[in-house]
């Protein structure tokens, strides 16, 4: 596949009894106009999304991604997507991915302004080549997310647990990291706790203990983090969730950013201070993440 | 005009010397597909916008809106729009508006993923009929914005002074207000100061003194608020900016939400407590706001 594949989904009610959704899909030219200027996704960032990794035609962890999409939809008062319809759309999209790594994006938008229904589409494209960065790692800087750790619970309208299309701040944080000579950022709460990266989860290792920020604090629960935790538990490691003070970032025995497409990337420095890299475990994690997972 | 008018702009460098930009505009069918699925406005809410009121074919305060668009672009590291190009696009869009009230939207998006340039477009449409609400007013609830008043200065990557397309939280706040039986919301900082409404500025009146939250606290500087302040100063009133404790919302002599399209709407209640309405001044403000302004 040299170009992007795109499929518009006509969202149907989850109550409808059907087994084949092919007639609700319309393949479109991804390079040609497909969305109207009245789209609320584009006017208001009003919608939710998921990015799914594809390896040799196999879409990774489709159900966890669809469950998170449904959860994001609920948090945004969007109609909850029909899981089977979306699963079939992902299957079609995955079949368009050639050998190697790809990315499938699912987007559920509020729809066209004053329109009757949400707009939904799925795209598939070859992934960027992340093999080098998985070995070399990334330098990160910490950036204040502005919110206290309790903001999510206190103010659900901040949508902190939803993967919305309103990612301008996440993108600005990445640009700020680049300005500071780093590759990526880690958000820290205004009261000094570690949160997440703009497009990845954080896992820290202290001895044989692994820890990641508890998703109660208004961060997204990472599907790749969950998958890595399952793997680590199977290996007999202690893998836990916690409130992690930002000061802990200066002394881990190893640290990773993990996400669905770039997978496990070792952190080599935080705010200019070197972090040691566990090359063996990193390679093993990525080997696992590149194996077929459901 | 019964349907929306839309114009795609081919953004040109601000350094180019030209006086006529007509050949950089492409009129498109606003109801038909015009944007590709790779648009970062739709995938990431990554772009900036403005909404301009139109009265009987006259676009209101075009230059202040274009200046704010440029400021938002700068805060988002987007190429600063060529003011004359956009001004001419607004003129074309305004000429498509019939008698009565309309709305012109300007959108500058990061562009298509991995693409070379931003995407930009302008739409024009009849405005909703806000005459009744300008008389009857709105009930509002206060909602925690999660940020302290100092977040904007401390963390510019939060883009608090930019009018970005990432408006999912603003839309969620309006839904939360409706759930609580109110019509609109007023955001309050986590340290207890009044900020703004999701799509409007707030003006309070105490005796002959008018006050509005200072735009230094990470709120958008409202073009309509500025216009109202100019008018009030001309009438001899004291109109000032301040740090307004949320507790002050319980005791104004009058209060308004002001914005470019809905104009000045009196607040009739805050969190269930009645606020007195100054019908005479409200009518006068809206008469002024509906007169041609540049």
Q: Looking at residue B115, what is its pLDDT?
A: 85
Percent of chain A clearing pLDDT 90 (strictly above): 90
CB-side exposure of A9: number of CA atoms within 13 Å? 26
Q: Which of B65, B99, B126 is the last residue of a domain?
A: B126
* Residue A211: domain span: 131-290
Do A168 and B171 lie within an 8 Å CB cutoff? no
**Both A70 and A152 in a single domain?**
no
pLDDT digit string, tens, across residues A186-197? 999 999 999 999
Residues of A with Cβ-Cβ distance to B144 under 8 angstroms: 151, 154-155
Structure ipTM: 0.95
Do B4 and A154 lie within an 8 Å CB cutoff? no
Element (H, E) at A55: strand A47-55
Q: Looking at residue A64, what is its pLDDT?
A: 97
Residues of A with Cβ-Cβ distance to B156 under 8 angstroms: 176
Confidence of residue A1 (pLDDT cuts 50, 70, 90): very low
Helix axes B62-75, B223-234, angle to 10 degrees: 140
Q: Looking at residue A14, what is its pLDDT?
A: 57
Do A42 and B34 lie within an 8 Å CB cutoff? no
> Nearest C-alpha of chain A: how many angstroms from B198?
11
CATH number of the CATH domain containing B168: 3.20.10.10
Q: Which of B126, B146, B168 is the last residue of a domain?
A: B126
Partner residues linked to A77 by β-bridges: none
Spatial neighbors of B284 by CB under 8 A, at least 6 apart, are: none
**Both A282 and A140 in a single domain?**
yes
CATH number of the CATH domain containing A59: 3.30.470.10
Do B33 and A32 lie within an 8 Å CB cutoff? yes
> Nearest C-alpha of chain A: how many angstroms from B40?
8
- How far, in Å, CA of A36 to CA of A68, rounded? 27
Q: Looking at residue A18, what is its pLDDT?
A: 82
Mean pLDDT of A88-92: 97
Task: Give the strand pairing for B138-144 and B184-188.
Answer: parallel
For residue A138, which of A199, A89, A193 has the smallest C-alpha distance?
A: A199
Q: Which residue has the higher pLDDT, B113 or A174?
A: A174
Residues of B with Cβ-Cβ distance to A176 under 8 angstroms: 156-157
Residues of A with Cβ-Cβ distance to B43 under 8 angstroms: 41, 49, 105, 107, 165, 167
Q: Which of A100, A126, A152 is the last residue of a domain?
A: A126
**First CA to last CA distance, chain A:** 23
Q: Looking at residue B11, what is its pLDDT?
A: 82
- The tokens of A288 are what? 């696992």
- Per-residue pLDDT for A246 more than 70? yes
Residues of B with Cβ-Cβ distance to A6 under 8 angstroms: 37
Closest alpha carbon within chain A to B35? A33
Do A165 and B35 lie within an 8 Å CB cutoff? no
Least CB–CB distance from B33: residue in A34, A146, A169:
A34
- Per-residue pLDDT for A31 more than 80? yes
Residues of A with Cβ-Cβ distance to B123 under 8 angstroms: 37-38
Report the domain count for chain B: 2
**Both B225 and B205 in a single domain?**
yes
- Please return the burial class of B92, using the count of CB atoms within 10 Å of its CB with bins 0-12, 13-18 and 19+: middle
For residue B78, which of B106, B37, B109 has the smallest C-alpha distance?
A: B109
Sheet with B5-9: strands ordered across = B25-29, B5-9, B119-126, B101-109, B47-55, B58-59
- Which of B166, B187, B198 to mutate to test binding with chain A, by most A CBs within 10 Å of its CB? B166
**Both B59 and B168 in a single domain?**
no
**Both B184 and B246 in a single domain?**
yes
Residues of B with Cβ-Cβ distance to A171 under 8 angstroms: 44, 46, 110
DSSP A87: H
Do B190 and A36 lie within an 8 Å CB cutoff? no
Q: Under a CB-based contact definition with an 8 Å cutoff, are residues A102 and A125 in contact? A: yes
Do B167 and A164 lie within an 8 Å CB cutoff? no
Spatial neighbors of B157 by CB under 8 A, at least 6 apart, are: A143, A169, A172, A173, A175, A176
**Both B45 and B189 in a single domain?**
no
- Please return the burial class of A190, using the count of CB atoms within 10 Å of its CB with bins 0-12, 13-18 and 19+: buried
Do B107 and A43 lie within an 8 Å CB cutoff? yes
- How far, in Å, CA of A277 to CA of A265, rounded? 10
Mean pLDDT of A41-66: 97
- Per-residue pLDDT for A13 more than 70? no
**Both B90 and B160 in a single domain?**
no
**Both A138 and A277 in a single domain?**
yes
- How far, in Å, CA of B268 to CA of B276, rounded? 6
Helix axes B83-95, B62-75, angle to 10 degrees: 130
**Both B174 and B115 in a single domain?**
no
pLDDT in tens, chain B (294 residues): 457 899 999 987 655 678 899 999 999 998 899 999 989 999 999 999 999 999 999 999 999 999 999 999 999 999 999 999 999 999 999 999 989 999 999 999 999 988 888 999 999 999 999 999 999 999 999 999 999 999 999 999 999 999 999 999 999 999 999 999 999 999 999 999 999 999 999 999 999 999 999 998 789 999 999 999 999 999 999 999 999 999 999 999 999 999 999 999 999 999 999 999 999 999 999 999 999 999
> What's CA A31's distance to the chain center, in Å?
24
- The tokens of A155 are what? 């103010």
Q: Under a CB-based contact definition with an 8 Å cutoff, are residues A135 and A124 in contact? A: no
Do A36 and B31 lie within an 8 Å CB cutoff? yes
**Both B199 and B284 in a single domain?**
yes
**Both B118 and B141 in a single domain?**
no
Do A37 and B4 lie within an 8 Å CB cutoff? yes
* Phi, psi at A269, each rounded to 5°: -160, 145
**Both B143 and B257 in a single domain?**
yes
> Nearest C-alpha of chain B: how many angstroms from A112?
9
Q: Under a CB-based contact definition with an 8 Å cutoff, are residues B202 and B255 in contact? A: yes
Least CB–CB distance from B37: residue in A44, A121, A156:
A121
Q: Looking at residue B1, what is its pLDDT?
A: 44
Residues of A with Cβ-Cβ distance to B107 under 8 angstroms: 37, 42-43
């Amino acid at each position: 596949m040299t170009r992007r594949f795109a499929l518009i989904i006509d969202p149907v009610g989850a109550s409808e009894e059907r087994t084949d959704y092919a007639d609700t899909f319309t393949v479109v030219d991804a390079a040609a106009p497909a969305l109207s200027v009245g789209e609320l996704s584009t006017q208001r960032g009003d919608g939710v999304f998921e990015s799914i990794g594809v390896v040799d035609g196999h879409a990774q962890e489709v159900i966890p991604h669809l469950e998170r999409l449904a959860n994001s939809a609920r948090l945004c008062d969007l109609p909850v997507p029909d899981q089977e319809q979306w699963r079939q759309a992902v299957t079609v999209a995955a079949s368009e991915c050639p050998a190697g790594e790809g990315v499938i994006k699912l987007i559920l938008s509020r729809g066209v302004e004053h329109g009757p229904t949400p707009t939904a589409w799925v795209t598939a494209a070859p992934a960027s080549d992340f093999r080098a960065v998985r070995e070399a790692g990334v330098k990160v800087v910490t950036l204040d997310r502005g919110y206290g750790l309790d903001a999510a619970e206190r103010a659900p309208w901040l949508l902190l647990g939803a993967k919305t299309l309103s990612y301008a701040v996440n993108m600005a944080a990445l640009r700020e990291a680049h300005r500071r000579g780093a590759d990526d950022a880690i958000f820290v709460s205004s009261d000094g706790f570690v949160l997440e990266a703009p497009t990845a989860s954080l896992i820290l290792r202290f001895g044989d203990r692994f820890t990641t920020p508890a998703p109660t604090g208004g961060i997204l629960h990472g599907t790749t983090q969950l998958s890595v935790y399952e793997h680590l538990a199977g290996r007999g490691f202690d893998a836990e969730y916690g409130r992690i003070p930002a000061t802990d970032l200066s002394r881990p025995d190893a640290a990773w950013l993990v996400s669905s497409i770039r997978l496990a990337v070792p952190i080599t420095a935080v705010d200019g201070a070197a972090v040691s890299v566990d090359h063996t475990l990193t390679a093993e994690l990525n080997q696992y993440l590149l194996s077929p997972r459901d």
